[in-house]
Each structure stands twice: as structure tokens, then as C-alpha cells.
Structure 1
Amino acid sequence: MPLSKKLNRFEVIAIQQLLLLQQVIDYIEEHIKDEIAPESLATMTGYSPYHFYRVFQKYTGYTLMDYVVKRRLQYALHELVNGKKVIQIAMDYGFETHAGFTKAFKKCFGSPPSLYKIHCPKSLPQKLDLITIHQKNTGGIVMQPMIVKREAFTVAGKTFEINMGKVSYTRDAPAIWDQEGLADGSIERFLYNSLAPKKHGEYCINLSPSAVDNKFIYLFAVDFEEGTSLPNGLTTLQIPAVTYAVFRTPLVEVEKFASAIKGTWKYILEDWFPQSSYEVDEEAFDFEYYDEHCHHWDYDKIYMEIHIPIKERG
């Protein structure tokens, strides 16, 4: 929120808390390889430990020590991709054994260091600005993306087109989830029943040409296997082989899901890209990916993925 705007009492309190937490975040960055005492961080803010832990999780989306571990692992990624041995990285970042580091790594990133090494950013984790993150209303901190090279694949689904302003900025599907067939889930059910994809997951793919300012066209689709019969009214799309930056939205309750997606898009376009060594690969498609982890009937908190085609800056 711009500082020139007149803030109400609750916004003032939020800004004050964020400024105090920013000191904690900066301290953690500066001492990322050191032993960190939670009580000392609470003292830094002037809060009781109980209140500090609650405020920290409210604004970051993580418990304090979960955040510290994840942040250490993100710094470890940088050293991993630059050739440092896993056992030395484990020791440097406070993990007592190779096995303990690998276990924490798999829990955080979903794969062992040996595999993730191929798919991680080359740059250091970017500095976190809690005020900016709060303004974008992401629901928490957006962690470093996984960098993944995918082979070409085909999807099939139904296209939707609506008129709306700032299309290049409002890329997220929640803006048009009230379209007929999406709100009630009938299109989703039809795609799964008629195409029977091997894995669960829906793609929301932006098809709008960059020259079109007031029209938003996107494809709501699932994986399409060669030889499958295509019902009338559906469209197939070949997605080329390309490298993606894959971002996860913060874990949030369902009522905050749409704003978390919008906020994550804003973070990616306004903060991550300008500070990264990558640019968007305009020859491919960006898309949102929704699998079972966004099923609020199965999970208390949910997330989805944003896949953006990238290439190294020239």
C-alpha cells in the first residue's frame, strides 16, 4: 500500500509488525549458516515468544524454524548447483549428517539433491521484502522456483474468451472462474470422462496475443494422449519443449486462494523476473497448473503452480 495513502488503525499495526519482522528476516539472512535462537529473535521484536511466533507465521505462511530450514535449503541450492559437495553443504548449514540434509531437502523440494541439482536456479535466493509481499496479498512468502526442462506434450480442452482490461497483467484464471461450465465443474468432469487422462491435473493456458489489450483468451485443458477421440467443441494444443520456472503459491485457506494466485503472479512479474538472470520465452506458453493439492475438500490449506517458459537473458 502506498505510504501516501491514509492508513486505518489495522493497516498501521500491520505495517509496524512487518517492519519488525523484516529485521528478523534480514538477521536470518545475515546469519543463515549460524545457530539461530528463536527466543533471541522474539526479543529483537519486543514481543513475547508466543506472540512473535503467531505474528511470524501470519505474515510469512511458515512457522519460524520451518522458514529458517527452508531458507537455508534455498541457499544450499545455490552452492549445490555450483558444484559444492553435499556433505560439506550439509555441515555448513547445520545438518549433522548427509542423510539428515537429504531428508530435509526431499521434504522441502519433493526430490533428492542429486535430482534437484539439475533443476534449480543458478542465482542466490532473492532478498525478501515483507512490505512488498504484503501489498501483493500472496498469503505468504513465495519461495524460489524449480527450473525444469520439459519435453513437448499435448493438451486438449475448451477455450474461453472474455473482454477485460489489463489482460497482460491479469493472467490468472480465478478472474474468469465464474464462466459457465467452470463454476459448476461441468467442463472439468466432461474432460476427465471423455479424454481419460492418465494423471490428474488441469492446465489454464493463456492464449491471448500480446498485442490484444482488452481480450483474454485461455484454454482450460487436461493431458491428451495420441489416439484419443476428440469430442466436438474441444481443442488440442501442442506445448513445445521448453525450460520453465515453476512457482508454487503459498499454502492458504480456500477463501484466500484466488488472491494468493494473483499476488504470486504480481511477485513473479514485478520482483522475480527483474532480479533474475532469465526472461520470458515468448515462443512458448505460460500456464497455471491445478492438481489434487488445490482440492480444499482434501486439504486444510491448498496451493497451485505457475509455469513460465524462460530463457537466459542475452
Structure 2
Amino acid sequence: MTQLFLLQKVIDYIDEHIKDDINTESLAKLISYSPFHFSRIFHQTTGYTPMDYVQKRKLQFALVDLLKEKRIIDIALEYGFETHAGFTKSFKRCFGSPPSLYKMHCPISVPQRLCLESLIQKKTGGVVLQPKIISKPPFRVAGKTFETRMGNIAFTRDAPAFWNQRILSEESIETTLYNLLTPKKHGEYCFNLSAPESEDHFTYLFAVNFEEGTTVPEGILKFTVKATTYAVFKTPLVPVEQFVSSIKGTWQYILEDWLPDSQYEVDEDSYDFEYYDEHCHDWEYDKVYMEIYLPIKEK
């Protein structure tokens, strides 16, 4: 049996025994590996240590129980956490906020089965976690547009990480926008905007936050994004040289694996976009990530 097949066996075992007490030694024994060798190849393949993955997977399954209005202490004990405080601390570390505040952001479907072979083929760079569901109010951005001749491009998902093809590093678009618009919050937005009158080109928008009352120079486009519900995905942490392939692979995973098995469909009346903040700065971090915003509605 191949190493990938054996690791998939471990991944499936974790899901099937998600509420049990699981440790590295028992997982290694399952496929007749030493704990040291198993831990090393598991981390190389998934981007997580075995127990870090187990904990994050337990927390992802726990999201479903949060929606069922179960008591947090009961959920914690059911998934093997000894205390309410320990569960809350781990939850906040994984999702960025405590479970009491995160309920409104939980996906309504259970985590999909992870296929390691599919993730490797897509070059995601690791396991893609369950998304955060948010209802985002209208917001404004302003930025520079690039007209591009390419057929069948209507949404950002049709040409992921397009900045890598269209924006040259020497153009310094990011620096120019921050100097011109001085937004309070750091972060860049990338949109592919369809052109209804033409099927062979689209408009690519690279933008930053735009504060009301700010003077927008000629040549900069103001763009308002309407209120929308989004599934927000983080790309796996990867070295910068794998960043573009990770973004493309994560988009592919979302559309081919996550979306068909979820209880959502794409809201075609809204824009999808890519969001980049300081966590994609390779001069600050050894590994980087960005966020993908997919507009959704329940099926």
C-alpha cells in the first residue's frame, strides 16, 4: 500500500472516531509506522502535526453542535476536552473568536470527507479548513483597473490569483493606492469584473478600502460591493513560492469538493473576491495565506 493510501486511512479513521480519545501513538500503530516517522510524513502531507489536525478536526465537527444550541460544556466534554475553558481557548485559537460569538458564522453542513490525493493534485499546500460564514454589509473600495482579453471570465473564481499574471512587481500598485487613498485598514481586494457587452475580455480590479469623503484621483475606480453572505476560506499556510498554486488549488477545492457537498450554492448576483492582508507578506512571515470570499445562499 502506498504512503498516501495509509495516510488517507488515518484521516478517515479520525473522522469515524472524532469523539474518541485519539493520540499520535494509536494513529501511527494503525498503519504500522513509528510515531516519529508517522508524525513527520503526516505534517509534510497535511501541514499539521497529527494532534493539531485532530484538535482542529474535532472543533470543525463541533461547529455543527453549536448550531443545535447545545451547551458549550456538553460539546466540550463530548469531543474530549476536559474543561469549558480548555475548549474555548482551543476554539478561539482555531477560529479567532470564542464559541459563544462564533455561532452565527458556523456552516450548516458537517465537514466534508477530506481526500488527500485530491488536495495534492490541486496543490493546495495542505488541508483547507471549514469556512467561516459571515453576512457582510455593503462596503466601498477604490483601485486600479486592468482591461484584459481573455474569454469565459465572469468572476474572480474563473481566473484565481490573476495579479500574478497581470500586475508587474515594478508597477508598485499597492504602494500607489495606499499613498493616494490612505485607508485606515490594511488589505487589498482583487475582483474580476465581467463585461456584459463582450465575451472576450474582462476588467481586473486591484483595490483597497475607500473611506467616505476621500478624494479619488482620476484613473482610480470607486466600487461598491452590496451586502452579501459569504463563505470565507483561508488558504493553507505555505512558503511564498507555493502561494499562487495554493490559491488556485484552494479555489479548485472550494468549487469541486466543498461546494457540491455543502448545503450552499453560489449567489450569482454578488461578487466573489480575494482578500490579502499583512499575512501574505513574506518579509514578515515564513509562511503566508490569504482569504477567499465566496458569495453563497442556502440551496
How much has 1:193 moved relative to structure 2?
0.7
Match among 152, 164, 168 for residue 177 of structure 1: 164
Q: 2:77 corresponds to which residue?
A: 91
Q: 1:258 corresponds to which residue?
A: 244
Distance 1:27 1:112, change over 3 A: same
What is the TM-score of this pair, normalised by structure 2? 0.95
* 2:60 aligned with 1:74: yes
Distance 1:185 1:78, change over 3 A: farther
Question: Could you give the per-residue CA deviations for residues 173-224 of structure 1, whole angstroms, max 9, x where no partner exists?
Answer: 2x442435x4235111111011010100000012125896543422100010
Which has the higher mean CA deviation after the structures are superposed, 160-169 or 248-257?
160-169
Question: Could you give the per-residue CA deviations for residues 70-114 of structure 1, whole angstroms, max 9, x where no partner exists?
Answer: 000001111001111100001111111111110000000001111
The sequence identity of aligned pairs, in percent, is 62
Distance 1:210 1:309, change over 3 A: farther
What is the TM-score of this pair, normalised by structure 1? 0.90
What residue identity is the alignment partner of 1:128?
A: L
* 2:211 aligned with 1:225: yes
What residue identity is the alignment partner of 1:188?
A: E
Q: 1:3 corresponds to which residue?
A: none
**Equivalent-residue separation in structure 2 for 1:199 and 1:78 (angstroms):** 32
Distance 1:211 1:282, change over 3 A: farther
What residue identity is the alignment partner of 2:258?
A: W
Aligned to 1:184, the other structure's residue is in SS state helix
Aligned to 1:177, the other structure's residue is in SS state helix
Distance 1:68 1:188, change over 3 A: same
CA contact (8 A) 2:195 2:201 kept: no
Aligned to 1:207, the other structure's residue is in SS state strand
Match among 95, 111, 116 for residue 102 of structure 2: 116
Q: 2:37 corresponds to which residue?
A: 51
What residue identity is the alignment partner of 2:222?
A: T
Match among 245, 263, 266 for residue 280 of structure 1: 266
What residue identity is the alignment partner of 1:238?
A: T
**Equivalent-residue separation in structure 2 for 1:58 and 1:24 (angstroms):** 14
CA contact (8 A) 1:156 1:224 kept: yes
- Root-mean-square deviation (CA, aligned residues, Å) is 1.7
Distance 1:184 1:35, change over 3 A: same
Which residues in structure 2 correspond to 1:156-175 (within 5 Å)? 156-164=142-150, 167=153, 170-173=158-161, 175=162
What residue identity is the alignment partner of 1:258?
A: V
Aligned to 2:114, the other structure's residue is in SS state coil
What residue identity is the alignment partner of 1:298?
A: E
The answer for unaligned runs of 5 or more in structure 2 is none
What residue identity is the alignment partner of 2:123?
A: N
Which has the higher mean CA deviation after the structures are superposed, 70-79 or 207-216?
207-216
Q: 2:226 corresponds to which residue?
A: 240
CA contact (8 A) 2:275 2:291 kept: yes
Q: 1:19 corresponds to which residue?
A: 5
Count of aligned pairs between the two proteins: 297
**Equivalent-residue separation in structure 1 for 2:85 and 2:266 (angstroms):** 37
Aligned to 1:205, the other structure's residue is in SS state strand
Distance 1:210 1:41, change over 3 A: farther
